[in-house]
Each structure stands twice: as structure tokens, then as C-alpha cells.
Chains A and B, each alone.
Chain A
Amino acid sequence: MTKLDTIKSREQRTGWILILPALILLLFVYGYPIARALWLSLFTQNLGTELKPVFSGLDNYIRMAGDGRFWQSFWITSVFTVVAVLLELLLGLGIALVLNERFRGRSLVRTAAIIPWALPTALIALAWAWIFNDQFGIVNDILLRLGLIKTGINWLGDPNLAMVSVIIADVWKTTPFISILLLAGLQSISPDLYEAHAIDGATPWQSFYKITLPLLMPQILIALLFRFAQSFGVFDLISVMTGGGPGGATEVVSLYIYATVMRYLDFGYGSALVVVTFLLLILAVAIASFLLSKIRKRLSGVA
């Protein structure tokens, strides 16, 4: 009995030694900035105070409530996130279904399908800005040749079209991530299920709807959660493609935060923006993990 105890406590000690460096680093890089933002958000520290922190209570949050630009950027972020993630999910599911079929050269196609995910977003943004260029862009050229438009469209210069452009670029860049996750899910579904269902006389559409979709739900939710968080914090793609323009039409929250800190030097207000974004993210994670556990429970109940 005592020997087991010492083994256990030795195991505990070893465990802590092994995990401690990782925990310290995570606290340093994740914990400190968030805690610091919480604290600093209670101060006014900007060019008006010559960059010295002056305690101002909840002033920053009150200012945020009346800040039209914050609400606009929040709205833009939400539209961007919802539209982009939904499109990615649909497209990603389609690609995953294709990649799950058996055909010659499948491995090569799978390789090609990962490439967009692996490339640096900032560089990809440059590539897409070139594709959507108003004078020499290939999109305009194709549309002109097809006779769909008469003169070149200024994609990145029009508020709505700029939004469309960054969403397309984001969909291109991150759909592979979703399709990889969903492909793994598809592969784990036993073919027997489909055969049994087909014998019962179900059409492929029915078996997709009845078997594939429900069994894929956990993967779909996880993919959605990841993508939601990433796209809510999207920075490099939009910063490089449009810089938030034209006229703030694509200014997402993270661009506004960055400008508040790095351009206006409004550190206190920037911290308050960080805090609010953080809380929203946590809220979304909580909702998603609640749904996930619910679905997992239902699935295990069925199986």
C-alpha cells in the first residue's frame, strides 16, 4: 500500500516536472496579455495623457458603447465570419465527399487539396488582390470575355464587392482545413452502414442525409468552432488585401484593435476592445462545446 503511494507521488512529481515548462510558457504568452488587457482597460492611456496610464474606471467601456466604428466593425466581422464559415463548410463537405471516393491519383488530388491551407495567408492575400485587380485582374478579364460585364469592376474599391472579395479569398484559403477534418470523419464511418441502408432501398441522398450527416456532426462542429474563432480574429488576409477599406467597409474588429493601439496609440481603449473580443470568443466556445457534448451524448446513445 505504501509502496504504491510512493510510486504514485513520484509519478505526480515527474508529471509536474514534465508539464511545467509548457505551462509557464503558456501562462507567459497567453495568460499575461489577457490579464494585462483586463487591467489596462480600466485606464486611459493615450496621446491625450502623453501615454501615461490614468485610472478612469469603466470610461473605456462607456466610450465603446457610443463608438459607431466599433459597432460597425463588429457587424462586419460577424457578416464575414458567418458567410465565410458557412460557405467553407458547404464547399469543404463537397470536397471531402469527392476525396473520399476511390479513383486513380487520389493521393495527388488530396495533396493538391491541402495546398491552400499550408500557404502563408499574407502572401495569399497578395495573390488574391492581384486576381481581383481592377485593371489587370484575371477575374475581370474572365467576366469580360464571357460578356457578363462591359467594363472592369473595381472589386476592392467598392464596399460590398470588397467584402465579397475577401470572403472568397478566405474561403479558398481555409476550405481545405474543413475538408481534411471532414474527410477523416467520413473515413471513420463504416461502409457496412451504407450497404445495409442501400439494401433497405435508400437512395444515395437519403443515406447521406440519414447516415453521413449525423455521424459527421462532431467533426462538423469542431471544424465550425475552429473556423469561427479563427475567422473572428482574422487579421492578415484583410489587412493585406484591403487594409480594412474602402472607407472601413471591410474593417473587422481585429483591424480596429490594431489601429487603435498601433496607429492611435490608444492603449487603454485598445485593451478594452481586446477584453470585449475575448469575452465574445469565450462565449462562443462555451455555446459550441455545450452543443458538442450534447451531440456526442446523443450519438453514443444511438450506437
Chain B
Amino acid sequence: MTVITQERPKKEIKISWKKIFLFIAIILVLLFCLAPVLWQLLTSFKVNEDISAVPTVYFPTRFTLAHYIELFDRRPFLRYIFNSAFVSITSTLLALAIGAPAAYTLARLNIRGERPILASVLIVTLFPGILLFLGLLEIIQKLGLANNYLALIIPYTAINLPLTILVLRSFFEQLPKDLEDAAKVDGYNTWQMLIQILLPMTVPALVTTGILTFIAAWNEFIFALTFMTQENMKTIPVAAAQLGGASAFEIPYGPIAAATVLGTLPLVLLVLFFQRKIVQGLTAGAVKG
């Protein structure tokens, strides 16, 4: 993107050219990444006439909260938010609780069959939900888990496990092994060592992984669409996708935009606060796996 084909000797000009290119590139990147979201944000505050105005209104003079109010008024939107949050947080905690020990085993303890286990963990990270929903649907039918939080918590925990294991394994492998040896010399057994020495050190890695799993669980669509049919059990992405308008040929753009903003806000905040951790986690999970 910043390739320069200038002659060699004109060094000063070259540098300023490069700077200009870089500047333009940065602006383009920002525009590319933020414009669609900002447009939705703006739409959510526009009055209906401005939303459906031709030509498009870019700088509205009137703002309204009506679309947000409508969401909470006509639908149990608070409930959707709670559902999303509850399911995501619970499955994140479970994924960490189950994934961290497994990651430790794969990093440190030499069990038989380690390689095939690791390979299958790697492969299942690539499975899309469409391959699983039919089998899970049957399980949920048989166990009577329809419209029950468990119907989402169990699959979400599972689909987040591979990533959790991979990220935490790469973390454990970076820890100096001396530490554990020293603990053993001091008379700790494996369990004590794990809980009293290793766990406190793992907290930052757990946070990193937790953010990733939370995002994945919050964003999940196909299971939430299939396993929750009761209105008050739906999660935000599904509920927003199913918003209907007041007439057959009118799509409620305003409320949809407001729903988008509400559903994405928690994640935008997460990204703002934990940008570094997210990048670390993603690269650890994908590249080093």
C-alpha cells in the first residue's frame, strides 16, 4: 500500500511522499472499519422522516430516542440483553474452568495420545455450527432442554473450548518450567502447585481468553436461533434479526439500527479497553496452535 517508486537521490521528497501515503492509508483504514458502524449509530438517532429521506440526510438537525424507547416498549429488550449476557458469561466461565486444566495437561504433562488430542482440538476449531445443529437439536429434544439456558450454555462452552485450550496452552508453554520444579522441591504436590502457584499467575491469560470466548458467545447465531423459540429466552442477535415492522412493506429501520447499537455496544467497549489482550489472544490461538 505504501510502495514507492521514486528515484533514489531525492531522499527528502521520498520521505514526505511516504508520509502522505501513510496518512491517506490510515484515513482509509479508519473509514473502512468505522464508517458502517457509525452510519448505523447515526440512523438509530434519526427521526423517521430523515431515515427515509431522499436524498440521504447526512447531518440531521433533529435527533430522537424514539427507536430505543420503542425497543424496550414493544419488546422485552432488557430481557434479551440479560439473556445474552447471562449465557455468554456463564459459558465463558465454564470454558475457562474446563479448558485451563486441559491446556495445562497438553502443555506440561506427557499423557499418551497427546498428539491426536491436540490435532482433533485444532480441527474442530474449523467446524461451522451448521454441521452440529441437527445433532444438538436431537439431544435438546430428548433431554427436554428447549428454551432452557443450558441449551445454549453447553454448546457455547464447547465451541469455545478449542480456542481456550490453544491460547492457554501456548501461555503455559511460555511459563518457566523452573517454577513448577521449585514448587515440587518445596513439597507441593501437583494439585497444590496448580492451584496455589500456577493459577494466580494464569489470571492475565484467563482474562485474555475470557474476552475472546465472551465475544464468540455473544455473537453466536445459529444455535440461539434454533434452540430458543420463546420470546423471553431469545438473545440479542436473533431478536434483532426478527424485528418486524408495523406494515407489511415497511421495514423498521430505526428500531433495527437501535437494536444493532445496543447489541454491539458491550463488544465495542470490550475492544476499547482490551485491544492488546484481544490481539494477543487471537494470535496465540491461531498462529501458535
Does chain A touch chain B in the assembled complex, meaning CB atoms less than 8 Å apart? Answer: yes
Interface membership of B177, Cβ < 8 A: no
Partner of B126, one of A18, A101, A226, A270: A226
Interface membership of B121, Cβ < 8 A: yes
Determine the distance from Cα of A54 to Cα of B287 in the docked complex, in whole angstroms. 46
Partner of A22, one of B22, B98, B129, B256: B98
* Residues B1 and A97 in contact, CB atoms below 8 Å apart: yes
Please report A residues at the B interface, Cβ cutoff 8 Å. Answer: 10-12, 14-16, 18-19, 21-23, 25-26, 28-30, 32-37, 40, 94-95, 97-99, 101, 103, 107, 109-116, 118-128, 130-131, 133, 135-136, 138, 141, 144-145, 172, 176-177, 180-181, 183-185, 203-205, 208, 218-219, 222-223, 225-226, 229-230, 232-236, 239-240, 253-254, 257-258, 261-262, 267, 270-271, 274, 277-278, 281-282, 285
- Chain B residues with CB below 8 A from A37, complex form: 131, 134-135
Query: Which residues of B (19-59) have their CB < 8 Å from a CB of A?
Result: 22, 25-26, 29-30, 32-34, 36-37, 39-40, 43, 51-56
* Residues B33 and A116 in contact, CB atoms below 8 Å apart: yes
Distance in angstroms from A219 CB to nearest chain B CB is 6
* Residues A138 and B222 in contact, CB atoms below 8 Å apart: no
* List of 4 A-B pairs having minimum Cβ-Cβ separation, nearest first: A233-B128, A33-B135, A29-B158, A15-B109
Query: Which residues of B (251-288) have their CB < 8 Å from a CB of A?
Result: 253, 256-257, 259-260, 263-264, 267-268, 270-272, 275, 278-279, 282-283, 286-287
Partner of B128, one of A15, A222, A254: A254
* Residues B98 and A126 in contact, CB atoms below 8 Å apart: no
Q: Name 29 interchain pairs, CB-CB below 8 A, sorted by A.
A: A15-B109, A18-B105, A18-B109, A22-B102, A26-B120, A26-B124, A28-B154, A32-B139, A34-B131, A36-B135, A37-B135, A98-B2, A113-B29, A116-B36, A118-B268, A119-B267, A121-B219, A122-B238, A123-B240, A123-B241, A126-B260, A218-B287, A219-B287, A222-B286, A229-B128, A232-B128, A239-B221, A281-B128, A281-B131
Determine the distance from Cα of A192 to Cα of B52 in the docked complex, in whole angstroms. 56
* Residues B287 and A114 in contact, CB atoms below 8 Å apart: no
* Residues A29 and B267 in contact, CB atoms below 8 Å apart: no
* Residues B109 and A11 in contact, CB atoms below 8 Å apart: yes
Determine the distance from Cα of A257 to Cα of B134 in the docked complex, in whole angstroms. 9
Known: A111-B272, A136-B52, A285-B123. A30 touches B158 (CB 8 A): yes
* Residues B138 and A112 in contact, CB atoms below 8 Å apart: no
Determine the distance from Cα of A287 to Cα of B9 in the docked complex, in whole angstroms. 47
* Residues B275 and A111 in contact, CB atoms below 8 Å apart: yes
* Residues B264 and A122 in contact, CB atoms below 8 Å apart: no
Determine the distance from Cα of A136 to Cα of B98 in the docked complex, in whole angstroms. 48
Interface membership of B157, Cβ < 8 A: yes
Interface membership of B174, Cβ < 8 A: no
Interface membership of B247, Cβ < 8 A: no
- Closest B residue to A130 by beta carbon equals B253
* Residues B131 and A205 in contact, CB atoms below 8 Å apart: no
* Residues B286 and A110 in contact, CB atoms below 8 Å apart: no
* Residues A122 and B226 in contact, CB atoms below 8 Å apart: no
* Residues B33 and A115 in contact, CB atoms below 8 Å apart: yes
- Closest A residue to B136 by beta carbon equals A33
- Chain A residues with CB below 8 A from B238, complex form: 122
* Residues B101 and A235 in contact, CB atoms below 8 Å apart: no
- Chain A residues with CB below 8 A from B190, complex form: 10-11, 14
Q: Which of B51, B137, B219 has the most CB of A within 10 A?
A: B219
Count of inter-chain pairs, beta carbons less than 8 A:
288
Determine the distance from Cα of A103 to Cα of B29 in the docked complex, in whole angstroms. 14
Partner of B282, one of A99, A111, A128, A177: A177
Determine the distance from Cα of A253 to Cα of B131 in the docked complex, in whole angstroms. 11
- Closest B residue to A275 by beta carbon equals B131
- Closest B residue to A281 by beta carbon equals B126
* Residues B279 and A114 in contact, CB atoms below 8 Å apart: yes
- Chain A residues with CB below 8 A from B236, complex form: 120, 123
Partner of A112, one of B30, B43, B132: B30
* Residues B131 and A138 in contact, CB atoms below 8 Å apart: no
Distance in angstroms from B22 CB to nearest chain A CB is 6
* Residues B253 and A103 in contact, CB atoms below 8 Å apart: no
Partner of B130, one of A21, A112, A233: A233
Distance in angstroms from A96 CB to nearest chain B CB is 10
Determine the distance from Cα of A270 to Cα of B130 in the docked complex, in whole angstroms. 11
* Residues A21 and B126 in contact, CB atoms below 8 Å apart: no
- Chain A residues with CB below 8 A from B104, complex form: 18
Interface membership of B111, Cβ < 8 A: yes
* Residues B282 and A205 in contact, CB atoms below 8 Å apart: no
Query: Which residues of B (87-105) have their CB < 8 Å from a CB of A?
Result: 98-99, 101-102, 104-105
- Chain B residues with CB below 8 A from A254, complex form: 128, 130
